[in-house]
């Protein structure tokens, strides 16, 4: 098997120097139309394709970005990925995906690989940005943007929704529908990004409407399906009676609904449910889930766009609080 043709081969075939070939390939000035034709003909004939690795070595730019997800296979991540990939591709960048599995070691290893591979920038999603990660990224000297997470300590551009407000809105909606006894299935209790703010929004909405907050009406999960089931089970067994429940993720909402249905509790007739995320499954289930929509694909697009601006020299970009919205489907009813 013969080696692929290099710029040298093209130069030889066209009877010019490599510098000239490079010039015409980049549409720089400095050659006659005749030479241009010769070069192009040679490129065509040899089936020449530039080697991006060699180019990267010289330019110190690889036109590649790295994206870290806690779980690439989640619906949440893949919606994000689609947006990121889409604009990256548009702007001539490739994306390397990394599955951190929320594991510190693995994440650090990935960061190292991305550094060695000389990616031009990084998007970090959904997880708390540990100091260790921050240091590693800072050391590589490339821009980062955060998605669905945020750093208190450092100023790093991010794109996310206002979790507190969205949770407030979800809860308030239930109240406007006449519910007064509202339970919550929260995310991880210590999660500063998606756990605590959503709980606070819930609590605030209750209080603003003169309803007392009761710790006994909240159960905690980890955002995943099964934890929603378990939380619902706990609520049903131990909490004071309630007519509606706000879950901090669609998956938990769906898990909770499944458990309720198994027990002969109807949604929304007996209990209303509202979720959070608007994953594509939210509208696939029956009854379709009322939930807080996060524009994930759009958020991915934005993040990609911001990152590439930074890579291409923008001094700074502003973070974006993107707007969520409540989508009414069929799991919440007027009470009574």
Partner DNA sequence: CTGAAAGCGCTAACAG
Partner DNA sequence: CTGTTAGCGCTTTCAG
- Judged by beta carbon distances under 5 to 8 A according to partner kind, the member of DNA, a second copy, none in contact with residue 314 is none
C-alpha torsion sign, points 160, 164, 169, 174: positive
How crowded is residue 205: how many other Cβ atoms within 10 Å of its Cβ?
23
- Segment 11-50, which members bind DNA (CB under 7 A)? 15-20, 22-23, 25-26, 29-32, 34-35, 50
- If binding is defined by CB under 7 A, does position 318 make contact with DNA? no
Please calculate the CA angle 111-116-119 and round it to the nearest 5 degrees: 75
Largest Cα separation within the chain, whole Å, is 86
User: Can you give the length of the chain in residues?
Assistant: 336
**Radius of gyration of the chain measured on its C-alpha atoms:** 26
x/- letters, 221..260, toward a second copy (CB under 8 A): ----x-------------------------x--xx-xx--
CB of 315 to DNA, least distance (A): 21
Q: Are strands 158-161 and 218-220 parallel, antiparallel or unpaired?
A: unpaired
Per CB under 8 A, 74 contacts a second copy: yes
Give residues 38-67 in contact with a second copy (rule: CB under 8 A): 47, 49-54, 56-57, 62, 64
Q: Which of 102, 98, 93 is nearest to 111 (CA)?
A: 98
183 forms beta bridges with: 245
Contacting residues for 179 by C-beta, under 8 A, at least 6 apart: 243, 244, 272, 335
Among 116, 215, 318, 336, binds a second copy (CB under 8 A): 116
Rounded to 5 degrees, φ, ψ at 326 are -85, 125
Give min distance, CB of 265 to a second copy, in A: 11
Is 5 a binder of a second copy (CB under 8 A)?
no
Cα-Cα-Cα-Cα dihedral sign, residues 284, 286, 290, 291? negative
All residues at 6 or more sequence positions from 156 whose CB lies less than 8 Å from its CB, including other chains? 129, 134, 144, 145, 146, 150
How many whole angstroms separate alpha carbon 98 and alpha carbon 271?
40
> Which of these segments, 30-38, 147-155, 212-220, 280-288, binds a second copy (CB under 8 A)?
280-288
Contact status: 7 vs DNA (CB under 7 A)? yes
Out of 41, 57, 139, 284, the only residue in the binding site for DNA (CB under 7 A) is 57
CB of 157 to a second copy, least distance (A): 19
Q: Does 268 sit behind a cis peptide bond, omega within 30 degrees of 0 on the bond before it?
A: yes
Residue 176 token pair:
């406007």
* Cβ 17 to DNA shortest distance, Å: 3
Contact partner, 82, from DNA, a second copy, none, Cβ < 5-8 Å per class: a second copy
- Contact segment (CB under 8 A) with a second copy among 18-26, 74-82, 172-180, 308-316 equals 74-82
Question: By CB under 8 A, is residue 82 in contact with a second copy?
Answer: yes
Are 237 and 194 a contacting pair, CB within 8 Å? no
Q: State yes or no: residue 188 binds a second copy (CB under 8 A).
A: no
9 binds a second copy (CB under 8 A): no
Q: How many residues bind a second copy (CB under 8 A)?
A: 58
Task: Decide whether 91 or 164 has the Cβ nearer to a second copy.
Answer: 91
d(C-alpha 126, C-alpha 51), whole Å: 35
Contact set with DNA (CB under 7 A): 3-4, 6-8, 15-20, 22-23, 25-26, 29-32, 34-35, 50-51, 54-55, 57-60
Contact set with a second copy (CB under 8 A): 1, 4, 47, 49-54, 56-57, 62, 64, 71-75, 77-79, 81-82, 85-86, 89, 94-99, 110, 112-113, 115-118, 139, 141, 225, 251, 254-255, 257-258, 261-262, 280-281, 283-288, 297
């Amino acid at each position: 098997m013969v080696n692929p043709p290099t710029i040298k081969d093209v130069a030889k075939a066209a009877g010019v120097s490599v510098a000239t070939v490079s010039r015409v390939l980049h549409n720089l000035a400095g050659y006659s139309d005749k030479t241009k034709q010769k070069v192009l003909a040679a490129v065509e004939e040899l089936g020449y394709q530039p080697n991006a690795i060699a180019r990267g070595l010289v330019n110190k730019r690889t036109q590649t970005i790295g994206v870290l997800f806690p779980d690439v296979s989640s619906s949440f991540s893949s919606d994000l990925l689609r947006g990121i990939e889409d604009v990256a591709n548009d702007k001539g960048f490739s994306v390397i995906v990394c599955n951190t599995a929320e594991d510190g070691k693995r994440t650090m290893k990935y960061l190292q690989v991305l550094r060695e591979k000389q990616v031009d920038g990084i998007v970090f999603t959904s997880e708390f940005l540990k100091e260790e990660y921050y240091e590693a990224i800072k050391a590589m000297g490339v821009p980062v943007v955060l998605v669905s997470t945020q750093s208190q300590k450092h100023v790093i551009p991010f794109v996310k929704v206002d979790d507190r407000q969205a949770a407030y809105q979800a809860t308030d909606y239930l109240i406007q529908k006449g519910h007064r006894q509202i339970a919550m299935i929260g995310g991880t209790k210590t999660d500063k990004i998606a756990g605590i703010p959503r709980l606070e929004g819930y609590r605030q909405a209750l209080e603003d409407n003169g309803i007392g907050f009761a710790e006994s009406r909240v159960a905690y999960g980890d955002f995943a399906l099964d934890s929603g089931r378990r939380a619902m089970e706990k609520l049903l067994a131990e909490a004071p009676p309630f007519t509606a429940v706000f879950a901090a993720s669609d998956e938990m909402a769906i898990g909770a609904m499944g458990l309720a249905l198994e027990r002969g509790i109807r949604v929304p007739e007996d209990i209303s449910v509202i979720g959070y995320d608007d994953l594509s499954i939210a509208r696939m289930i029956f009854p379709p889930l009322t939930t807080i929509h996060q524009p994930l694909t759009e958020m991915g697009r934005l993040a990609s766009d911001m990152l590439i601006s930074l890579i291409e020299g923008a001094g700074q970009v502003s973070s974006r609080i993107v707007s969520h919205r409540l989508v009414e489907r069929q799991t919440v009813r007027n009470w009574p």
